[in-house]
Every structure is written in structure tokens, then in C-alpha cells.
Amino acid sequence: MTNLVVVIDSGVGGISVLHEIFKQKLNIDLLYIADNLYLPYGNKSEQFIKNRCAKLITFAANKNACAIVIACNTATAYGAEYVRSLYPHIPILGTEPAIKPAVNLSNNGNIGLLATAATAKSMRLTNLVTRYAPNSRVIIQACPGLAEQIERGELASIKTKLLLQKYVNPLLDNECDVIILGCTHYPFIKPLLKQIIPPHIKVIDSGYAIAKYLYDTLNKRFTNLTTTDNTQTVTFMNTSPLNNLTHVLPIFWLHEFNHASLLNL
């Protein structure tokens, strides 16, 4: 077993989770894979997403990763169970909308959830809501096009703002006092969202919880897991020959990294 942790997403979104993992200062090497040849996952079929997820996880498993993080709500919704059955010996952590914390944070029981269309209609999300929020009103808003705007680096453009406004309006109409970011791309537009919503509305995502869970998982396997001097290496790969991630990384990743190379998958 290596000390490699592989983090995957359809694009740059999972970097919001990578940030949280990096902040933990662990003695690990991080490989981030953006499947940007097939972005967005949010408008793809269940079978397609499941197959891509399996391809990426198989690649990570062949690299002897000590853990894999699916830093994508959409891929988790359709692929997590399947890939865990393929590689039961590797911890495969998924990303799910933070329903349970939202229930604890809400004062009025009205919770808004922004997600991709695929996540919004997934059975996994329905089950999550039934399980953790039986007494709340969860307004699920699909946000087609939003992840693509973020992927282009348009974190504050008028177009992104108008699109976000359109998706947030129904949540405001329903008096939601908590908004869950149910797609890992969305934390990158949290500042924009804050401009749109009243200050009393809380905004939450799952990044920190995943990083903490990864820490707990690895801590059972490694001694000396944490480090004071940050020795983590971070390498990026992407699957689209036309969209090398290196060009947009200065917007999303402010630390050192190894250049993004092409992964033919």
C-alpha cells in the first residue's frame, strides 16, 4: 500500500474538497483527477456516470491508492455503491449533500439544496432526505449549467450571477434559512451566493466533513499521519486533451502543484 490518496471529480469542483484535505496536513501524496472530457456529469445517464466512476476508481486502485475520495455528489449518487463492491479492500469515500447538519442548523425547518440535475433526481438523495430530514421541508433545486460556468472560471460574472439568482429564488420564496451546496463545484461561488441571499441564511457544504472522515480512516492505518511541515505533493490529471487543467488551476488551487497531465481513460 502506498500513501497515495486519489481524489476524483468530473472537473475542478472536487478541488473544493481537496482544499479541505490539504488543510489537514497529512503525510500523504494527493492525486487529483478531473474527468473533464465528460463534464458535466449532471446531465448524463445513471449508467454513464456509473461507468465513468468505475473507470476512474479502477485507475486509482491500480495505483495502489490507500484511499479514494469521490469528490463529486453526482458520481457518488450513482457510482459509489458499485465501485465499493469492486474494490472492497480500499476505503472509497463519497460526497453527499450535508442534509443532517442542515437540519441541525435550520431554525424554521425549511432547507434549500442546490445540486446537479442528476443528483437532484437520484434515489440516493431521496433516501438521504427521508432518513435525515423527515420533519423538514427540503426544497431541491437542480442547477443545469452552473457547474459549467464555474468550470470556465466564471466565478463572479454577470451570467453566473443571473443563473445562480434564478436557482436561488425558489429557495428564498420558500423561506429557506439554510442552503446546502450539493455539488462540489458550488463552494467556489459561495461569495457570489452571499451577495444574493440575506445574511441570516446559512450556507453549508460537505468538504470539511469528508476531509475529517478521511483523516479518521487513514489514522487507523498509519502512524505519524500528520505533519507540521507540509510535505504533501499534489498532482493533477485531466481526461480532456483540449482542456488542460493547468490553465484554470491558478483560479482554483492556490498552493504548489505538479502540472496537470493528460490521462487517457
* 78 lines the binding site for ligand DGL (CB under 6 A): no
Exactly one of 3, 106, 116, 238 binds ligand DGL (CB under 6 A); which one?
116
Q: Tell me the C-alpha distance between 47 and 257, whole Å.
A: 33
Q: Tell me the C-alpha distance between 217 and 239, whole Å.
A: 28
Of 66, 143, 176, 183, the catalytic one is 183
Q: Hey, how many other C-beta atoms are within 10 angstroms of the C-beta on 90?
A: 18
Of 3-11, 25-33, 84-92, 133-141, the window that binds ligand DGL (rule: CB under 6 A) is 3-11
DSSP code of 176? Answer: -
Residue 66 bears catalytic tag: no
* 183 lines the binding site for ligand DGL (CB under 6 A): yes
* 74 lines the binding site for ligand DGL (CB under 6 A): yes
Q: Under a CB-based contact definition with an 8 Å cutoff, are residues 11 and 40 in contact?
A: yes
Shortest Å distance, C-beta 153 to ligand DGL: 15
Q: Nearest to residue 102, comparing CAs of 188, 190, 194, 203?
A: 203
Q: Under a CB-based contact definition with an 8 Å cutoff, are residues 173 and 165 in contact?
A: no
Contacts of 88 (CB under 8 A, 6+ apart): none
Of 53, 66, 72, 143, the catalytic one is 72
113 vs 234 by CB, closer to ligand DGL? 113
* 29 lines the binding site for ligand DGL (CB under 6 A): no
Burial label, 17 (beta-carbon count in 10 A; 0-12, 13-18, 19+): buried
* 239 lines the binding site for ligand DGL (CB under 6 A): no
* 36 lines the binding site for ligand DGL (CB under 6 A): no
DSSP code of 90? Answer: S
Residue 72 bears catalytic tag: yes
Shortest Å distance, C-beta 226 to ligand DGL: 27
Shortest Å distance, C-beta 151 to ligand DGL: 8
Q: Give the catalytic positions in this structure.
A: 72, 183
Binding residues for ligand DGL, rule: CB under 6 A, are 9-11, 13, 39-42, 72-74, 116, 119, 147, 183-185
